[in-house]
Structure 1
Amino acid sequence: MSVAYELSHLDKLESEAVHIIREVAATSEKPAMLFSGGKDSVVMLHLAVKAFWPAPVPFPVMHVDTGQNFDEVLAFRDRTVERYGLRLIVASVQDDIDARRAHEDFPGAPRNKLQTVTLLRGISENRFGAVFGGARRDEEKARAKERVFSFRDEFGQWDPRNQRPELWNLYNGRHRKGENIRVFPLSNWTELDIWSYIESEQIELPELYYAHKREVVERDGMLLAVNRFISPTADETSYNATVRFRTIGDATCTGCVESPAATAADVVAEVAAARLTERGATRADDRISEAGMEDRKKEGYF
């Protein structure tokens, strides 16, 4: 008598992501994984650890550092790298500003849009043939157009009209010298899937993702944390609130939400009832048109 075993929804997503990660490691020359310390990159790294366990992760992780990160996230990044014995490559936006390859709009301006120059430089200098990213299709419309294996030409550019077919989960990672493949193992995950998996696997995250007391200021319809990058203006009044972050980017443009969710289970319940994506609700730099984000991706942005 045979016993049928049916995978759960999360098991299927995990199995697919592990397959994608192993496929890249087996077929691509010098892959790397982007790791910012944000929840999606943490889940992606957790999957990579599971994919090769008990052997170590066979590729480095790269952080595109804008210089405007939350201190808690940088500390978490370094702890995680040490825990897994990873090789960390830091590509600094400040280096590109100093070298005049990137230009700030004004001193202290958000640097998220400057990451493209630094990302492309990091890929080129290290000669990475494939780079894993934690983007999900539910984040916004431009990301939803991208395949799991995203071909980029020698200039790092993406053509949404010229993508390779991925029938039956067969992926084509072939590319010429100088070209690159961006790989998105979490393409079919949602924010709710990410949090359900974090709860199921008991994955550690930066404490910013859970409810905590913080001084905030309301600006442009968002709550921004007061920190070394953000201070109240003359016509703003800061106050203390119990908040958490749904996504973590630059401290200059990443908002938080008032929330009592102190555990992963609490966040799962909260996200299940949410109607706005985390980036659309709390990332000032992502409040742009679909065409604007698509243009950034065509230039090389993740």
Structure 2
Amino acid sequence: MTTATRTLPDTLENPYALSHLDALEAESVHIFREVAGEFERPVILFSGGKDSIVMLHLALKAFHPAPVPFALLHVDTGHNFPEVIEYRDRTAARHTLRLHVASVQDFIDDGRLRERPDGTRNPLQTVPLLDAIESHKFDAVFGGGRRDEEKARAKERVFSLRDEFGAWDPRRQRPELWSLYNGRHAPGEHVRVFPLSNWTELDVWQYIEREGIELPEIYYAHEREVFKRDGMWLTAGAWGGPKEHETPETRLIRYRTVGDMSCTGAVDSDAATNADIIAEIAASRLTERGATRADDKLSEAAMEDRKREGYF
């Protein structure tokens, strides 16, 4: 005769079990500490976007009460949202972190890059990024990429080896069994590190809500003058929009992701709080990049092509 057993939730069966967010946080903190122990000159890519904000929040936790032992690096396209740039500078100052800014405009001005006909500068970020890595001799570069964002990013390991030209080769991906990370690299090579690899957009927002993390206001519903291009609501700016046939209108929108204004679309939304956004994302069937990033729609392999050239 068998006795039926009742299965209890992990938190009731084991009061010391980690919640889903606690487990993700612990993994990310472990990654930051591993990099601090293995590398000489790590740097955190920090744009003022939500993923880099969460990444910095985790780094602060990983080394508290000591200061974060890494500088910040931002590749500024010159077409970023003013609210995000203001947040970037204010945050770096608040935590007394050194901020390196690699300017796409500087590379255009001295002839190392040429402006694209469509005005989009996101594809131009690779050269300034690689130049900054080489000139500052960074050997590990933290990025906020997540595997749920895009199929090319889904192929990444947490530690992603880049060759002396900054290029990514999927065939050189290393196994990461049991959360053992291999940071070995030859002179001239470096490693891209993704502490949020296993997070989803929903995880990020639930963590922002739980931790009370401040974000730039454009992530929340607000009225803004936008115009429609290729099915996306874009903000007017010096980058080249709107054109004569594109009529601006004021709409209630928010941004799911932020980047170059020329290729980052807004979504119609009345979500004004973290809880509203969590409910909105839970019901969505489109990834944030799939819904709002024109640069990923240039070709089927747009992101993977850029990653092979040295982009994140």
Indicate whether the TM-score tops 0.5.
yes
* Rounded Cα–Cα distance in structure 2 between residues aligned with 1:251 and 1:289: 19
Within-5 A mapping of 1:177-256: 177-229=187-239, 231-256=241-266
Q: Are the equivalent residues in 2 in contact too, given 1:72–1:206 (CA < 8 A)? A: yes
* Rounded Cα–Cα distance in structure 1 between residues aligned with 2:137 and 2:18: 38
* Rounded Cα–Cα distance in structure 2 between residues aligned with 1:24 and 1:137: 20
- Rg larger in structure: 2
* Rounded Cα–Cα distance in structure 2 between residues aligned with 1:17 and 1:104: 37
Within-5 A mapping of 1:43-82: 43-82=54-93
Determine if the alignment matches structure 1 residue 40 to structure 2 residue 46.
Answer: no
Determine if the alignment matches structure 1 residue 93 to structure 2 residue 104.
Answer: yes
* Rounded Cα–Cα distance in structure 2 between residues aligned with 1:3 and 1:187: 27
Corresponding residue to 1:147 among 157, 169, 191: 157
Within-5 A mapping of 1:259-278: 259-278=269-288
Report the CA distance between 1:217 and its aligned residue: 0.6
Give, as a single letter, the amino acid of the residue that structure 2 aligns with 1:291: A
Q: Are the equivalent residues in 1 in contact too, given 2:160–2:192 (CA < 8 A)? A: yes
Report the CA distance between 1:105 and its aligned residue: 2.0
Cross-structure match for 2:123: 113
Give, as a single letter, the amino acid of the residue that structure 2 aligns with 1:68: H
Report the CA distance between 1:22 and its aligned residue: 0.8
Tell me the number of residue pairs that the alignment of Structure 1 and Structure 2 aligns.
Answer: 300
Task: Report the more deviating stretch, 180-189 or 154-163.
Answer: 154-163
Distance 1:5-1:223 versus aligned 2 partners, 3 A rule: same
- Structure 2 counterpart SS, 1:78: helix
Task: Give me the identity figure in percent.
Answer: 67
Q: Deviations over 1:97-139 (max 9, x none)?
A: 2232222223x71110010001100100000010000000011
RMSD (CA atoms)? 1.4
Within-5 A mapping of 1:261-300: 261-300=271-310
Unaligned runs of 5+ in 1: none
Q: Are the equivalent residues in 2 in contact too, given 1:142–1:290 (CA < 8 A)? A: no
Report the CA distance between 1:162 and its aligned residue: 1.7
* Rounded Cα–Cα distance in structure 1 between residues aligned with 2:263 and 2:91: 25
- Structure 2 counterpart SS, 1:161: helix
* Rounded Cα–Cα distance in structure 2 between residues aligned with 1:167 and 1:289: 33
- Structure 2 counterpart SS, 1:15: helix
Report the CA distance between 1:66 and its aligned residue: 0.7
Give, as a single letter, the amino acid of the residue that structure 2 aligns with 1:72: E
- Structure 2 counterpart SS, 1:45: helix
Distance 1:233-1:289 versus aligned 2 partners, 3 A rule: closer
- Structure 1 counterpart SS, 2:161: strand
Cross-structure match for 2:40: 29
Distance 1:3-1:259 versus aligned 2 partners, 3 A rule: closer
* Rounded Cα–Cα distance in structure 2 between residues aligned with 1:104 and 1:201: 40
Q: TM-score, with normalisation over the residues of structure 1?
A: 0.96
Q: Are the equivalent residues in 1 in contact too, given 2:296–2:302 (CA < 8 A)? A: no
Q: Are the equivalent residues in 2 in contact too, given 1:141–1:290 (CA < 8 A)? A: no
Give, as a single letter, the amino acid of the residue that structure 2 aligns with 1:222: M
Q: Deviations over 1:54-107 (max 9, x none)?
A: 11111100000111111110000011011111110001111222232222223x
Report the CA distance between 1:174 and its aligned residue: 1.2
